[in-house]
Amino acid sequence: MKISPVWAVLLMVASAALLALGPLVLPPFYVRVGQLMLYSAGLAVAWTILGGFAGYASFGHSAFIGVGAFAAGLVEARFSGVAPPLLLLLGLAVGGLCCAVLSAAIAYPILRLRGTFFAIAMLGVSHVCAELNNNVDFFEGSLGLNFPAVAPKNLEPATFFYWLYLLAGLVVLLIAWQIRRSRFGAGLLSIREDEDTARMLGVPTERYKRLAFVISAVLTGQLGVIYAHSLGYITTDSVYRDDTNLSLIVYSLLGGMGTLFGPVIGAFMLVFITQVILGRLLDFHLFATGLLLVVLVLAAPGGVLGLVRTFLLRRRPAAAPAE
């Protein structure tokens, strides 16, 4: 499904403007849901740069949320005199840097694994980071870390963070979009389809995979920094979470694995389902997510966008018979 770039940009701008109105018209509960939707959408797109585009599905991306958040928090705590907006920028810079270093360091060995081995190895990485964070005093994971309030004084924090998530989400989406349209993106898609053949065609597969991995990690970390600030206080369990690890995959699976907007749709849908529809029925969450996974795998492996595409193809007249 190809939309011309001009239309795509107009659509994105219009959606962004519409979404920006959210905090001004919605009740507080829905503003918080909106925050979660935008945050999840951003994470989903960041994940999909590696998972959907290149086909390297990571089961442990919450590692980068955690690393970004804690790196930012630990540094910001030492510069408490600085003005809040600068602190946030500092946190973002440090969080991004740490995620870049970590991902670059493990990229060489871990990207040699394929498929499920890569997925589980990343889960392992996520758990190792979580355990170290919790057990080593320096990280203050078990005690918890406080974050300075960075919202401007005459603005509701909820509104501020809503708009911050919107902005961050748009940045992530734009980066992913640019990647998708570039030679780099075409290379990533070919890696997903058939890595060995791609290599034989001259695609620098190792370099591209590492680059996608680092970009994905840094963007995820940035969102983690914002998330930590919006919470105000985090412990290990706030950011290193297995349900986040799983959700990141489900967003792309639900919306359409491998597409650009699929993760956004998937994130919006899943957050809406769990927070709004099932909101009161906390006991039902695990069951519903599980059931969704089962149904998706069996009935709709292409996700929502896959279903749309199938529906559209059925309505088109059959292609001319091959010679």
Partner 1 sequence: MNLIAQTLADGLVLGGIYALAAVGFSLIFGVLHVINLSHGILVLLGAYLALIFSQALGIDPLLTLPLVMAVLFAVGYVYQRFLIQHAVDRSQLGSMLLTFGVALMLQNIMIWVFSPDMKNITPSWAFTSFHLGAVNFDAVRVSALFASLVLLCCLALLLKFSPLGRVIRATAQQTMAARLCGVNVRHVYALTFAVSAAFAGAAGIVIGIILPFSPADEATWTLNAFVVVVLGGVGSPAGALLGGLLLGMVSTLTAQYIGPSFPNVTMFLLLVILLLVRPTGLLGNAFSASR
Partner 2 sequence: MSPAPILRVDRLSKNFRGLAAIADVSFAIEPGSITSIIGPNGAGKSTLFNLVTGYLPPSAGEIQFQGRPITGMATNRIAELGIARAFQIARPFRDLSVFDNVRIGALFGKSGNRDVAATTARGMELAAIAHLADQPASTLTVGQLRHLEVARAIATRADLLLADEPCAGLNPTETAAMIEVLRRIRGNGVTVVLVEHDMPSVMEVSDRLLVLDAGRLIADGSPHAVAANPQVIAAYLGTPDAV
Residues engaged in binding partner 1 (CB under 8 A)? 57, 109-110, 112-113, 115-117, 119-121, 123-125, 127-128, 131-132, 134-135, 242, 246, 249, 253, 283-287, 289-294, 296-298, 301
Minimum Å gap between C-beta 306 and partner 2 is: 11
Residue 194 as a binder of partner 2 (CB under 8 A): the answer is yes
**Window contacting partner 2 (CB under 8 A); options: 13-21, 91-99, 200-208, 282-290:** 200-208
**Window contacting partner 2 (CB under 8 A); options: 25-33, 128-136, 192-200, 290-298:** 192-200
Q: Which of 62, 133, 190, 216 binds partner 2 (CB under 8 A)?
A: 190
Q: How many CB atoms lie within 10 A of CB 158?
A: 16
What gap in Å lies between CA 169 and CA 46, rounded to an integer? 9
Nearer to partner 2, 220 or 259 (CB): 259
What gap in Å lies between CA 310 and CA 315, rounded to an integer? 9
Nearer to partner 1, 127 or 199 (CB): 127
Q: Residue 156 touches which of partner 2, partner 1, none (CB < 5 to 8 A by kind)? A: none
Residue 252 as a binder of partner 2 (CB under 8 A): the answer is no
Pick out residues in 257-276 that bind partner 2 (CB under 8 A). 258
Element at 234 (helix H, strand E): strand 233-234
Which ranges of the chain does DSSP label H, i.e. alpha helix? 5-20, 22-25, 28-48, 62-77, 84-110, 115-135, 157-181, 183-193, 195-200, 205-231, 236-239, 242-255, 262-271, 285-299, 303-315
Minimum Å gap between C-beta 203 and partner 2 is: 5
From the list 157, 147, 167, the residue with the least C-alpha distance to 41 is: 167
Helix (H), strand (E), coil (C) string for 23-90 = HHHCCHHHHHHHHHHHHHHHHHHHHHHHHHHCCCCCCCCHHHHHHHHHHHHHHHHCCCCCCHHHHHHH
Q: Which of 158, 189, 246, 308 binds partner 2 (CB under 8 A)?
A: 189
Nearer to partner 2, 201 or 294 (CB): 201
What gap in Å lies between CA 84 and CA 150, rounded to an integer? 5
Which residues form the interface with partner 2 (CB under 8 A)?
183, 186-187, 189-190, 193-194, 196-205, 258, 319-320, 322-323
